[in-house]
Structure 1
């Protein structure tokens, strides 16, 4: 089979497309013929030799990627035969190996893909979708809610806009440039504003006409976060799940960090991550959420990384063998 391998930490060009031995499923595992592999911002961090939130860097050489969808084509000992031939999606957890034509994972991580989702959409929901479900559980939205979503044209922002709109909220989407603001509006934002325009806060305030935002879903941080928090009313909520700008902004009394561990605690139950994954796939199957996907050939993984790092992507980045 072919896969993307990283032999040395560094720039995107270090990702190479090459033949490798096919993995064999261990007991309790399935092997998936990969039709779509998710690319996460964390993948670009690890590629550079920074471990981010993970306990350690992967051993080199490594096949990056932790989100895959495809067809089960081989079973390890102890796995029920009914899985063979199923369309499935799985988050591989801390184990890499997704940027490949074949990948193995524990059967307990696998979900059958709803019939109305394609492989790339399923990958988007198992990763980005589960994060969206983890974020929205911290607030109850209704027709009185006024929600601001920075980075509204990204994979996660798209889902948050759609979720808030489906809940009946008024939604303001912020995005960089006319193409992305148009996408935010297409996805349901009542107002879509270009946050590269220095006058964007005034534009929003004029449109709100005396109203205040009630919720900010913030994964950007920095100057954009400071401006969006200023739009909140006295009882507003600044829900922080990241800071893609590189500058956290959580100094206000309205801020609440809902990073990974907080999301899983909130979801509760014996398998909170799986619960969030199932919710995401259910929302997509019901067509309440439709993930935005940007596809690259598996061999062009380096180009996908560069596009993601330079914010030239809209939606979830997916590699297709």
Structure 2
């Protein structure tokens, strides 16, 4: 099988296409002929050899933890009824997704519903499960004015759709004309370029402040968003693509009368069904048409370009590798 391997930590061009032996599923496992493999921003951190929430892998390694495709082999103890099934899975702490084949425990599988493409299925079990958790922890209402920085990203795209569906007033923020043009399709009430000086003043003038911020950007953008919150407003932190989380202190919370909270980790895992439950509910949203993920796809052999585009914020939506391309 063909697979992308990392032999030494470093820049994106350290990801190389190798030929490896076919995989054999162990007892309780299935082998998936991979049609789509999700690329996460965390993958780029691990590739660089930087510490994070997941331990650095032993090298060489096949990165990636989100796969969708067809079951083409089963291990001992696995019902043959899985053979030929379209499935999607998150591989958990064990990488191996950037390849034509992946093995995983049968219990980690979700059947891909009819009418759902493999790209969308990968988006659901990857960024979709996080978006689902954020929404369950801090749901929007029709009375909210919701600000979504990085709205053209995989998570932001789904959060905008969810807030619109609840009847909220939605401010979608992104950096650059190309991303703003793509966001027009979602019909937000206001589009702003947070790369432009004074973007927060534009928001303040248009809607008089916001009541809910879904913040996966952090840094100066996250701080400016926090200062847009009206009394009683909420800011949900779930990432910091800018390089540092949004800075705030007790005085911000007390003096402004706002709430700020981190949503990932134990808090999200404590939701009903844990992280797998969130993935299942996210996949259901996609299957019913409530969510339509935005995807940027690359051939498997171009994993290095996918990483570079993700790091440089050129890619939009969920980044997916396609082994068959």
Give 2:33's aligned residue.
33
Q: Output aligned runs, 1:188-203, within 5 Å.
A: 188-203=187-202
Give 1:316's aligned residue.
318
What displacement does 1:188 show?
3.1
- In structure 1, what is the Cα distance between the partners aligned to 2:318 and 2:47? 18
Query: Does residue 228 of structure 1 match 2:229?
Result: no
What displacement does 1:203 show?
1.3
Q: Output aligned runs, 1:1-321, within 5 Å.
A: 1-54=1-54, 56-208=55-207, 210=208, 212-251=209-248, 252-253=252-253, 254-265=259-270, 267-269=271-273, 272-321=274-323
Higher mean C-alpha deviation, range 244-253 or range 219-228: 244-253
What displacement does 1:87 show?
0.4
What displacement does 1:138 show?
1.4
Give 2:256's aligned residue.
none
What displacement does 1:250 show?
4.1
What per-residue deviation string (whole Å, max 9, x for no partner) do you get for residues 93-139 of structure 1?
00000000010000111000011111111101110000000111112
- In structure 2, what is the Cα distance between the partners aligned to 1:89 and 1:51? 28
What per-residue deviation string (whole Å, max 9, x for no partner) do you get for residues 125-179 of structure 1?
1100000001111123221111000000011100000011111111101100111
- In structure 1, what is the Cα distance between the partners aligned to 2:152 and 2:189? 14
- In structure 2, what is the Cα distance between the partners aligned to 1:88 and 1:31? 11
- In structure 2, what is the Cα distance between the partners aligned to 1:316 and 1:215? 23
- In structure 1, what is the Cα distance between the partners aligned to 2:215 and 2:294? 19
Give secondary structure in 2 for the equivalent of 1:53.
Answer: coil
Quote the RMSD (CA, aligned, Å).
1.0
Are the aligned partners of 1:195 and 1:224 in contact in 2 as well (CA < 8 Å)? Answer: yes
Are the aligned partners of 2:219 and 2:247 in contact in 1 as well (CA < 8 Å)? Answer: no
Give secondary structure in 2 for the equivalent of 1:137.
Answer: helix
Higher mean C-alpha deviation, range 187-196 or range 94-103: 187-196
Give secondary structure in 2 for the equivalent of 1:74.
Answer: strand
Q: Which ranges of structure 2 fall in alignment gaps of 5 or more residues?
A: 254-258
- In structure 2, what is the Cα distance between the partners aligned to 1:98 and 1:141? 34
- In structure 2, what is the Cα distance between the partners aligned to 1:167 and 1:80? 41
- In structure 1, what is the Cα distance between the partners aligned to 2:27 and 2:187? 45
Normalising by structure 2, what TM-score?
0.95
- In structure 1, what is the Cα distance between the partners aligned to 2:139 and 2:235? 13
Give secondary structure in 2 for the equivalent of 1:290.
Answer: coil
Are the aligned partners of 1:250 and 1:257 in contact in 2 as well (CA < 8 Å)? Answer: no
Are the aligned partners of 2:223 and 2:247 in contact in 1 as well (CA < 8 Å)? Answer: no
Normalising by structure 1, what TM-score?
0.96
Aligned length: 315
Give secondary structure in 1 for the equivalent of 2:230.
Answer: strand
